[in-house]
């Protein structure tokens, strides 16, 4: 390869808003581990093949410590929030597992499956409210935002009236355009909010995540309130933002493939697989996972030097034809369950079963109750989240 060609600036702009940047497919076919330059001029590497992504994120020579001064980021603001991140998402083992294991119980598969009737009740109520609105109505504001928020608030024990504040903090931290001071401020506000929630639940425990973790880990002295507040803020952010984007963009993709939306509606056995395909196709957490090389590592025909950053891009891996034949074709009948939209390795999403259950509940209900659902947007009216680290749509005007 030629190193005298300046590395292109990352992140790239999408040409087609429903597809990953075209540079990923080009790199995968010609130079699957490709250098880019970041906002600060530093070189980092994009990993674009499915097998390479899985091997990088399970290779201990690559660290996931956000505190590492060489850890790569897409914005200057993100550096600031990475440095102050105290949740296990930014830790290597053994510290990662130590903290994560205090929370795995809360998101266990059987517990999440048991939440489905409650999720369905919430979704049905929101669809009632949507149907009472004048047409066209915004599906993001009426369903995609409030549905995961209501589920999350119920699970965690935070009052629902706080969800706007939580979303604003998540957006303020995950944007691509804000200043470092703004991002740090929003990160701080949410951790402070969670600390107040901990204090409230210490006074008045209830049947929720915060109260249980206080009882099982904070009171016995395994977990400080400060650490719990940071982890709690991470859980709130992750639980509101990502599923919202899957519902918004996922609905748009299904409406672009009406025969597949109809199949999802009429054939319940297709639902789990369709949700995996939507996760693969959308891959909203678009600049993840990230790592930094702790020593020189040779992969394929490149050597990633100690201290260089790596983006093991899940949207690129999820379109690798060697893992997903004809990868740009959206097909709810394919087996896409090995996608890496939730990441892979020890940092794979803690709330992934929750997200799966939410999506498995909401999509069939939406299309069963609104069989004539359609996009009702004028050209350019749908605003895609080119300004955010988590990809999706800001709005989706629909009629039915």
Partner 1 sequence: MGVLKVRVDVEKCIGAGHCVLRAPRVFDQRDDGIVILLDDSPVRELREAVHKAADLCPSQAITIEEIP
Closest approach of partner 1 to the CB of residue 246, in Å: 18
> Do 308 and 70 contact (CB within 8 A), yes or no?
yes
Applying CB under 8 A, among 26, 61, 95, 105 the residue interacting with partner 1 is 105
Closest approach of partner 1 to the CB of residue 238, in Å: 14
E-strand ranges in the chain read: 33-37, 43-47, 62-63, 137-138, 290-293, 297-299, 302-304, 309-312, 374-375, 397-399
Tokens read off for 367: 């299309």
Q: Which CB atom, from 251 or from 314, has the smaller least distance to partner 1?
A: 314
3-state class of 210 per DSSP? Answer: helix
Applying CB under 8 A, among 337, 368, 381, 386 the residue interacting with partner 1 is 337
Q: Which CB atom, from 212 or from 394, has the smaller least distance to partner 1?
A: 212
Q: Which CB atom, from 85 or from 106, has the smaller least distance to partner 1?
A: 106
The region of 34-42, 218-226, 243-251, 338-346 touching partner 1 under the rule CB under 8 A is: 338-346
The region of 171-179, 277-285, 302-310, 352-360 touching partner 1 under the rule CB under 8 A is: 352-360
The region of 42-50, 129-137, 232-240, 346-354 touching partner 1 under the rule CB under 8 A is: 346-354
The interaxial angle of helices 271-282 and 352-369, nearest 10 deg, is: 110
Cα-based distances in Å from 96 to 122, 380, 385: 33, 43, 30
Cα-based distances in Å from 175 to 23, 183, 207, 284, 318: 22, 8, 33, 13, 23
Q: Which CB atom, from 98 or from 125, has the smaller least distance to partner 1?
A: 98
Judged by CB under 8 A, the number of residues near partner 1 is 22
3-state percent breakdown (helix, strand, coil) of the chain, nearest 5:
50, 10, 40
Applying CB under 8 A, among 43, 257, 338, 383 the residue interacting with partner 1 is 338
Applying CB under 8 A, among 84, 352, 370, 397 the residue interacting with partner 1 is 352
Q: Which CB atom, from 135 or from 348, has the smaller least distance to partner 1?
A: 348
The region of 59-67, 107-115, 241-249, 315-323 touching partner 1 under the rule CB under 8 A is: 107-115
Closest approach of partner 1 to the CB of residue 108, in Å: 5
The yes or no reply on residue 345 touching partner 1 (CB under 8 A) is yes
Which residues, 16 to 75, sit near partner 1 by CB under 8 A? 58
Applying CB under 8 A, among 2, 6, 41, 110 the residue interacting with partner 1 is 110
Instruction: Lay out the site mask for partner 1 across 72-101 (x = CB under 8 A, - = otherwise).
Output: -------------------------x--xx
Residues 270 and 335: their CA atoms lie apart, in Å, by 10
The yes or no reply on residue 107 touching partner 1 (CB under 8 A) is yes
In this structure, the number of other CB atoms found within 10 A of the CB of residue 300 comes to 11
Closest approach of partner 1 to the CB of residue 265, in Å: 22
The yes or no reply on residue 217 touching partner 1 (CB under 8 A) is no
In this structure, the number of other CB atoms found within 10 A of the CB of residue 63 comes to 19
Residues 265 and 34: their CA atoms lie apart, in Å, by 41
Closest approach of partner 1 to the CB of residue 112, in Å: 8
3-class SS letters over 14-73: CCCCCCCCHHHHHHHHHCCEEEEECCCCCEEEEECCHHHHHHHHCCCCEECCCCCCCCCC
Residues 316 and 32: their CA atoms lie apart, in Å, by 10
Q: Burial, 206: exposed, middle or buried (Cβ in 10 Å; 0-12, 13-18, 19+)?
A: exposed
Residues 153 and 319: their CA atoms lie apart, in Å, by 34
Give yes or no for a cis peptide into 136 (omega within 30° of 0).
Answer: yes
Applying CB under 8 A, among 344, 363, 367, 391 the residue interacting with partner 1 is 344
The region of 105-113, 135-143, 169-177, 370-378 touching partner 1 under the rule CB under 8 A is: 105-113
Closest approach of partner 1 to the CB of residue 335, in Å: 9
Residues 309 and 297: their CA atoms lie apart, in Å, by 12
Give the interface with partner 1 as residue ranges (CB under 8 A): 58, 97, 100-101, 104-110, 112, 337-338, 343-346, 348, 352-353, 356
């Amino acid at each position: 390869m030629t190193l005298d060609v300046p590395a292109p600036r990352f992140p790239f702009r999408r040409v087609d808003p429903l597809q990953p940047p075209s540079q990923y497919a080009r790199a995968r076919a010609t130079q699957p581990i490709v250098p880019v330059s970041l906002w600060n001029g530093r070189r980092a590497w994009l990993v674009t093949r499915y097998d390479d992504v899985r091997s990088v994120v399970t290779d201990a020579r690559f660290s996931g410590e956000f505190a590492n001064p060489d850890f790569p980021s897409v914005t200057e603001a993100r550096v600031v929030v990475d440095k102050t991140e105290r949740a296990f998402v930014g830790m290597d083992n053994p510290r990662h597992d130590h903290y994560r294991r205090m929370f795995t119980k809360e998101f266990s598969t059987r517990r999440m499956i048991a939440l489905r009737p409650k999720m369905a009740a919430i979704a049905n109520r929101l669809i009632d409210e949507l149907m009472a609105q004048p047409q066209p109505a915004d599906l993001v504001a009426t369903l995609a935002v409030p549905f995961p928020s209501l589920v999350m608030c119920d699970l965690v024990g935070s009052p629902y009236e706080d969800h706007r504040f939580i979303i604003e903090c998540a957006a303020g931290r995950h944007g691509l355009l804000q200043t470092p001071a703004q991002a740090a401020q929003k990160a701080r506000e949410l951790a402070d909010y969670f600390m107040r929630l901990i204090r409230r639940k210490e006074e008045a425990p209830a049947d929720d995540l915060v109260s249980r973790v206080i009882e099982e880990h904070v009171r016995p002295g395994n977990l400080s309130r400060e650490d719990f507040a940071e982890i709690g803020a991470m859980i709130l952010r992750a639980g509101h933002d990502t599923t919202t984007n899957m519902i918004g963009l996922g609905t748009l993709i299904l409406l672009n493939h009406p025969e597949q939306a109809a199949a999802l509606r009429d054939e319940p056995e297709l639902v789990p697989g369709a949700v995996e395909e939507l996760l693969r196709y959308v891959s909203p957490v678009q600049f993840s996972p990230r790592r930094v090389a702790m020593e020189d590592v040779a992969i394929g025909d490149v050597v990633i030097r100690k201290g260089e950053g790596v983006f093991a891009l899940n949207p690129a891996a999820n379109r690798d034809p060697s893992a997903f034949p004809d990868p740009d074709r959206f097909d709810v009948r394919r087996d896409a369950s090995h996608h890496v939209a939730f990441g892979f390795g020890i940092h794979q999403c803690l709330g992934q079963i929750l997200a799966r259950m939410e999506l498995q509940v909401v999509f069939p209900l939406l299309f069963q109750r609104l069989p004539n659902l359609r996009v009702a947007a004028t050209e350019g009216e749908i605003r895609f989240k080119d300004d955010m680290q988590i990809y999706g749509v800001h709005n989706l005007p629909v009629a039915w």
